[in-house]
Amino acid sequence: MSQNQSNVAAEYTLESIQNFEGKYPRQLWSLFSIEMWERFCFYGMRGMLTVFMVEKLMLADGAANLQYGAIQAFIYIFTFVGGFFADKILGFRKSLFWGGAMMAVGGFFIATSPAEFFYIGTCFTIIGTGFFKPNISTMVGGLYKEGDTRREAGFSLFYSGINLGALLGGILMIWVGKYYSWNLAFALVGVAMCISIVVLFFTQKTMGPIGLSPLHPSMPKNKKRLYELLTYGGSLAMIPLLYLLIQNMRNTDIFMLIAGPVTLLYVFYEMRHHTWDENKKLIAALIFILFSVLFWAFFEQSGGSLSLFALNNVKHDLLGANIDPNIVNNSSNSLFVIVFAPLIGLLWIWLSKRKVEPNSAIKFGLGFLFLAAGFYVFYSMVSFANAQGLSSLEIFTFAYLIITFGELCLSPIGLSLMTKLAPSRMQGLMMGMWFLASGYGQYVAGLLGKGMSVPDADATAVEKLISFTNGYHQLAIYAVIAGVVLILISPLIKKLMGNVT
C-alpha cells in the first residue's frame, strides 16, 4: 500500500466506516451519485437501442430484438470479466475509473456518426460497463459489517440512485434521439460518464481501504503496474473480437453456449478452496442466479419487444397528456423504483425488527408473482385496443407499476445476497456471476422477443398487437410457475444459506 493510501486508510478505517450511526453510511451517497450517472448512460442507451436499430439501421422487428438481446447480453457478460480482474489485480476503484473512461469514449465515438460507428462504439460501452457495474455494487456491500440488518435498506437506496439515473437518461436520451438528434443523444453518454468519473475522483478518499488493489503490499510497484497495464491492454484487445460477435448472431450463439458452462466450472474450481459451510452458501447463491436468468429474460422485454410494442401499439395519451409511449416505456419503471424502493427497504427493516421478514427465497418468489401479474396486464391490453391496433397508455403504465414491485423483491435483494453469501475473496467473482446471469437473461429476452415478433415486414399494427400480447400471456404463465417453485423450495435454500437471511 502506498503512503497516500496508508494515510487514507488511517483517516477512514474499515471499522469507522462500518460503525456508522443511522440508517445509511455517508459513503453510500457518493456511490449513489457515481452510479446514478453511469445508469443515466446505460438505461438511456438501452431505451434507444431497439428504436434506433429499427428506425435508423432499418432492421426488422425480429432482427432488432435479437441484436438488442446480444448487445445487452455481452454488456452483462463482461461484468464477470470486470469482477474477476477487480478481484485479482485492479481493485474496485481503478476498475471504476477504467470502466467509466471506456464508456465515455464509446459514447463520444458513436456520437460522431451513429449509423457508421454504432457497433464499434458499443464495444467500448460493453467493456466499460463490465469493469464498472459489478464493482461499485461490491463496494456498497463493503460499507456494512456481516449481519448488519441495515444492508438491504442500503442496497434499496442505492437502487434508487440507479433508477434516478435511469429515469433521467430514459426520458432525455430517447426524446433527444427520436425528436432532435441521435448524435447528441449518444454524446450525452460521454458527458454523463465524465461527471461520474469526476465525482469518484473527489470522493474516493472517504472510502478508506474499500476498493483498493488486492495485490499483496509486498509486491514490487513495477510488477503491480505491469499487471495493471496488461489488464488495460487486454481489455482493449477484446474490442475486435466483440465487434465480430455482436455483428453476427451465429457467433453470439456459439459464444453463449460456451461462456456459461466455462464460467460455472471456474466457480466450482474456486469453491475447492473454501469450507463446506462457505460452499453451501455459494450453492444457494447459484440457485438465486439460476432463477434470475428467467426473471431477466421476462423483465427485459422492456428494452426489446415492449419497446416495439410501445412504438406501434400504444396511444400517445396518458391521462389527457400527449406523451410518447417510448418515453413511458423507458422511464416509468425507474420512476416507480425511485418512489417505492426506499419504502420497500424500510418495510424490510420494520418486518425484521418484528422478526416476520420473509427470507430471500420467498422474496424472489414474490418477485416472479408480481412479474406474472404485470404481464397479465400487458396481455389484457388487446381487449382495450381500437381498430387501428392502438391500446391504452394508462394500462401500459399500470403494468409497469406492477412489475416494478417484482423487481424490488428481487434485484436489490440479489445484489445484497451476492455480497453476503460469497466469501470475501470471491465477492467480485460472484457479483460478476450475478450480472453474467443477467446477460443470459438478456440473450434469452432477445430470443423471446423475436419469437413474439411478426416476421412479415408489412404486418399491420393489429397483427403485431395480437402477436405480442399472446407472447406476454405465455410469459405470465411461466413466471407464475417459477414463483411457486421458489416459494416451495425456500426452506431448502434457507438451510443452505445458514446464518444469512
pLDDT in tens, 19-28: 777 778 888 8
Q: Using the predicted structure, report yes or no on whether residue 9 has a pLDDT greater than 50.
A: no
Q: Using the predicted structure, report yes or no on whether residue 484 has a pLDDT greater than 80.
A: yes
Q: Is 113 left (phi over 0), alpha (psi -120 to 50) or beta?
A: beta
- Residue 90 structural domain: 27-497
Q: Residue 208: which H helix or E strand, with range?
A: none
Q: How far apart are CA 247 and CA 389, in angstroms?
A: 33
Is residue 263 a contact partner of residue 80, using CB atoms and an 8 Å limit?
Answer: yes
Residue 1's pLDDT is what? 45
pLDDT tens per residue, range 409-425: 887 777 778 878 888 77
Residue 6's pLDDT is what? 47
For residue 132, tell me if it sits in a domain. Answer: yes
Q: Give the DSSP letter of residue 303.
A: T
In one-letter notation, the amino acid at residue 24 is Y
Q: How far apart are CA 339 and CA 436, in angstroms?
A: 28
Is residue 221 a contact partner of residue 4, using CB atoms and an 8 Å limit?
Answer: no
- Return the CATH number at 234: 1.20.1250.20
Q: Using the predicted structure, report yes or no on whether residue 342 has a pLDDT greater than 70.
A: yes
Residue 404's pLDDT is what? 92
For residue 327, tell me if it sits in a domain. Answer: yes
Q: Using the predicted structure, report yes or no on whether residue 194 has a pLDDT greater than 80.
A: yes
Nearest CA to 147 out of 434, 421, 428 is that of 421
Residue scoring higher pLDDT (14 or 357): 357
Q: Please list, residue by residue across 182-216, b when 16 or more beta carbons sit within 10 angstroms of its beta carbon and e when fewer do.
A: beebbbbbbbbbbbbbebbeebbebbbbbbbbebe
pTM: predicted TM-score of the whole model, two decimal places: 0.79
Q: How far apart are CA 82 and CA 12, in angstroms?
A: 26
Residue 428's pLDDT is what? 67
For residue 13, tell me if it sits in a domain. Answer: no
Nearest CA to 465 out of 382, 397, 399, 394 is that of 382
Average pLDDT over residues 455-472: 87
Supply φ then ψ for residue 318, to 5 degrees: -120, 105
pLDDT tens per residue, range 39-69: 888 888 887 888 888 888 888 888 888 888 8
For residue 7, tell me if it sits in a domain. Answer: no
The domain tally of the chain equals 1
For residue 19, tell me if it sits in a domain. Answer: no
Burial (CB count <10 Å: 0-12, 13-18, 19+), residue 250: exposed
Average pLDDT over residues 159-181: 83
Residue scoring higher pLDDT (298 or 203): 298
Residue scoring higher pLDDT (483 or 173): 483
For residue 18, tell me if it sits in a domain. Answer: no
For the chain, what is the largest distance between any 2 Cα atoms, rounded to a whole number of angstroms?
73
For residue 311, tell me if it sits in a domain. Answer: yes
Q: How far apart are CA 434 and CA 303, in angstroms?
A: 19
Q: How confident is the model at residue 175 (pLDDT cuts 50, 70, 90)?
A: confident
Average pLDDT over residues 137-144: 81
Q: Using the predicted structure, report yes or no on whether residue 2 has a pLDDT greater than 70.
A: no
Residue scoring higher pLDDT (428 or 190): 190
Max avg pLDDT among 184-198, 263-277, 333-347? 184-198
Q: How far apart are CA 439 and CA 80, in angstroms?
A: 10
For residue 4, tell me if it sits in a domain. Answer: no
Beta pairing partners, 321: 318
C-alpha cell at 441: 437473461
3-state helix, strand, coil in the chain (%, to 5): 80, 0, 15
Average pLDDT over residues 227-254: 86
User: Average per-residue pLDDT in the chain?
Assistant: 85
Q: How many CA atoms lie within 13 A of 312 on its CB side?
A: 28
Q: How far apart are CA 73 and CA 351, in angstroms?
A: 36
